Structure 1
Amino acid sequence: MNQRLFFTIVGASLLLAGYAHYFTDNEFFKFATASLAIIFLAAWLGKSTESVAHYAGDRVGGFLNATFGNAAELIIAFFLVKEGLFDMVKASITGAIIGNMLLVLGLSVFLGGLKYKEQTFNGRLAGHNASLMMLAIAALFIPAVFMKELPPVEIGTLSTVIAVILIVAYLLWLIFSMVTHRDFLSDIESHDSEAAWSKGVSILMLAISTFFVAVVSEWLVHSVQHVSETLGWSELFVGAFVIAIIGNAAEHSAALLLAMKGRIGAAVEIAVGSSLQIALFVAPTLVLVSLLLGRPMDIVFTTFELAAIGVATFITISITKDGATNWFEGVLLLAVYIILGTAFFFA
C-alpha cells in the first residue's frame, strides 16, 4: 500500500475515534471506532518495528517486533488494572498468549506453507521456547492449585514472589539468547530485507505509533465494559478474544509478512516470543504495577484460562519442536483456536 494512502487511512481512523470518544454518547460507536483505530495503529507500529529490526539484526529485531507488538496489550491491560477490571485483565492476558501461539503463528505457518512446501528454522531455539512455555504454565498453575488452601493475603504474597521470579527468568533469557548464546540460537538462513525508512525515522515512527496506541487504548477501555454488558458477552470472552485479537494486529501484520517472504524463523520468533513475553514479563509486571496503584491483583487464573493456555502450549510445542513447518500444521493451530474461541463464547 502506498505510504501516503496508508497514513491517510491511519489519520482518518484516529480522527473518527477521537470524534466518537469526545463528541458522542454511543458506546458501540466509540468501541467500534477505537477498535478500528487500534488495528490501523498496530499495523503502523508493526511496520515501524520491522523497519527498526532491519538495522538491529534478526535476534534483536524479533525481540523488538514482539515487544512493541505487545505494546497495545500491555497498555490496554494497564488501563484495565487501573479500573479494577482484573477478570478482564487476566482474560486479555490469556487471549494474547493463545492468540499469538494459535492465531498469529497458525496463519503465518498456513499462508507461508501455501507458498513454500516446507519452511525451517532453528530447532534449538524451538527447544528453549518449549522449556520457557512449560515454566510459564507451571507458574500459572501453582497459585490456582494452592488458592483454596491459602488465605487471600498469602495468595497475594505468592503472586508477587512468582511475578518477580518470572521477570528475572525472562531477563536472564534475554541475556542468554541475545548475548552469551546469540550465535547458537541464530536463524538457519540470513535474509535480506529493506527498511521502510532510515534508522532515525524508523525510531521516530516507532515512538509516535506507540504513543497513539496508548491514547486510543484508553478510549477503548472506557467503552468495552459497557459493550460487553449490553451484548451479554462475558468478560472472559471479551478479554480473551475481542481485545486480544485487536491487540494482536501488530503481530499479525509483521509475522504474516515475514512468513510469506520465507522467513518463518522470524515469524515464529514474533509469535512464540510474544506469547513468552506476555506470560513471563507482561503478566508479572501488571501484578507489580497493581500494587503501586493500590489495587493488588493476584496471578490466579480460572480453570478455563489455564486449560486454554495449556492446550495452546502443548500443540505449539508439538508443531514447532522439529524446526520445520508446513501449511497443514497451520490448519491444526487455527482449528484449536476456533475450538477455544467457541468454548469461551459459551462459557
Structure 2
Amino acid sequence: MNLKLFFSLVGGSMLLALYAHYFSGNEMLQFATSSLAIIFLAAWLGKSTESVAHYAGDRIGGFLNATFGNAAELIIAFFLVKEGLFDMVKASITGAIIGNMLLVLGLSTLLGGLKYKEQTFNGRLASHNASLMTLAIVALFIPAVFMFDLPMIKVEIISIVIASLLIIAYILWLIFSMITHSDFLSDIEPQESDAVWSKGVSLLMLAVSTFFVAVVSEWLVEGVQHVSKSLGWSELFVGAFVIAIIGNAAEHSAALLLALKGRIGAAVEIAIGSSLQIALFVAPTLVIISLLLGNPMDIVFTTFELAAIGVATFITISITRDGATNWFEGVLLLTVYIILGTVFFFA
C-alpha cells in the first residue's frame, strides 16, 4: 500500500476515535472507532518493527516484532487491570495466546502454503518452542488445581512467586536463544533488499506508533464494558476473541507478509514467540503490576481458559515439530480456532 494512503487511513481512524471519545457520548461508537484505530495503529507498529528487523536480523527482528506486536495487548491489559477487570484481563491473555498460535500462525501457513508447496524453518527452534509452551501450560495449570482451597493471601503470594519465576525463565530463554546459542536457532531466509525507512526513522516510527496505541487503548477499555453488556456478550468472549483479535493486528500483518515472501521462519518466530512472550512475560508482569497498583490479581485461570490454551498448544506442537508447514496445516489451526471461538461465544 502507498505510504501516503496508509498514513491517511491511520490519521482518519484516529480522528474518528477522537471524535467518538470526546464528543459523541455514544459508547458503542467509541468502542467501534477505537477498535478500528487500534487495527490501523497496530499495522503501523508492525510496519515499523519490520523495518527495524531489517537492520537487526531475523532472531532479534522476530523478537522485536513479537514484543512491539504485544504492546497493544499489554497496554490494553494494563488499563483493564487498572479498572479491576481481572476476568477480562485473563480472557484477553488467553485470547492473545491462542490467537497467535492458531489464528496468526494458521493464516500465515495457509496463505504462505498456497504460494509455496512447503516452507521449512529451524527444527531446533521448534523443539525449544514446544518445551517453553509446555512450561507455560504447567505454570498456568498448577495454580488452578491447587489454589482454590487456600486463603486469598496465600494465593496472592503463590501467584507472585510463579509470576517471578516465569519472568526469570523468559529472560534466561532470551539469553540462551539470542546470545549463547543464537547460531543454532537462526534461520537463513531471503531478506528484503530495502527497508521502508532508515534505522533512525524506523526507531522513531516504532516509538510514536506505540505511544498512540497506548492512548487509543485507554479509549477502547472505557467503552468495552458497555458494549459487552449491550450485546449480551460475556467478558470471557470479549476478552478472549474481540480484544485479542484487535490486539493481534500487528502480528497478523507482519507474519502474513513474511509468510507470503517465503520467510516462514520469521513468521513462526512472530506467532509462536508472541504467544510465549504473553504466557511467560506479559501475564506474570500484569500480576506484578496489579500488586503495585494495590489491587493484586492472581494467576488462577478458569477451566475454559486452561482447556483452550492446552488444546492450542497441543496442535501447534504437533504441526510445527517437524520444522515444515503447508497450507493444510494452516486449515487445521484455523479450524481449532473457530471451534474454540464458538464455544467461548456460548459459554
Structure 2 residue aligned with 1:199: 199
Q: 2: CA distance between counterparts of 1:23 and 1:84?
A: 26
Structure 2 residue aligned with 1:119: 119
1:273 correspondence with 2:273: yes
C-alpha contact 1:159 1:298 (8 A) present in aligned 2: yes
Task: State the identity %.
Answer: 84
The Cα of 1:226 is off from its aligned counterpart by 0.6
- Give a deviation string over 1:281-311, Cα, whole Å, max 9, x none: 0000000000000010000000000000000
> Counterpart amino acid of 1:276?
L
Q: 1: CA distance between counterparts of 2:193 and 2:316?
A: 27
1:32 correspondence with 2:32: yes
C-alpha contact 2:118 2:325 (8 A) present in aligned 1: yes
The Cα of 1:187 is off from its aligned counterpart by 0.7
- 1:49-88 counterparts in 2 under 5 A? 49-88=49-88
1:141 correspondence with 2:141: yes
> Counterpart amino acid of 1:338?
I
C-alpha contact 2:241 2:341 (8 A) present in aligned 1: yes
Per the normalisation by structure 2, the TM-score is 0.99
Secondary structure in 2 matching 1:145: helix
Secondary structure in 2 matching 1:84: coil
Tell me the matched-pair count.
347
1:4 correspondence with 2:4: yes
Structure 1 residue aligned with 2:326: 326
- Give a deviation string over 1:304-345, Cα, whole Å, max 9, x none: 000000000000000000000000000000000000000000
- 1:177-196 counterparts in 2 under 5 A? 177-196=177-196
The Cα of 1:152 is off from its aligned counterpart by 1.2
The Cα of 1:160 is off from its aligned counterpart by 0.3
Stretches of structure 1 lacking an aligned partner (at least 5 in a row): none
The Cα of 1:193 is off from its aligned counterpart by 4.4
Q: 2: CA distance between counterparts of 1:210 and 1:182?
A: 28
Structure 1 residue aligned with 2:245: 245
Secondary structure in 1 matching 2:182: coil
Structure 2 residue aligned with 1:209: 209
C-alpha contact 2:105 2:271 (8 A) present in aligned 1: yes
> Counterpart amino acid of 1:157?
I
My pick for the range that moved more, 215-224 or 152-161, is 152-161
Q: 2: CA distance between counterparts of 1:100 and 1:58?
A: 18
RMSD: 0.7
Q: 1: CA distance between counterparts of 2:53 and 2:274?
A: 15
The Cα of 1:150 is off from its aligned counterpart by 1.4
Structure 1 residue aligned with 2:287: 287
Q: 1: CA distance between counterparts of 2:154 and 2:16?
A: 47
Secondary structure in 2 matching 1:160: helix
Per the normalisation by structure 1, the TM-score is 0.99
- Give a deviation string over 1:201-250, Cα, whole Å, max 9, x none: 00000000000000000000000011001111000000000000000000
Q: 1: CA distance between counterparts of 2:109 and 2:38?
A: 25
> Counterpart amino acid of 2:60?
V
The Cα of 1:190 is off from its aligned counterpart by 4.7
Q: 2: CA distance between counterparts of 1:6 and 1:90?
A: 33
Q: 1: CA distance between counterparts of 2:3 and 2:235?
A: 37
**Distance 1:5-1:190 versus aligned 2 partners, 3 A rule:** closer
C-alpha contact 1:116 1:262 (8 A) present in aligned 2: yes
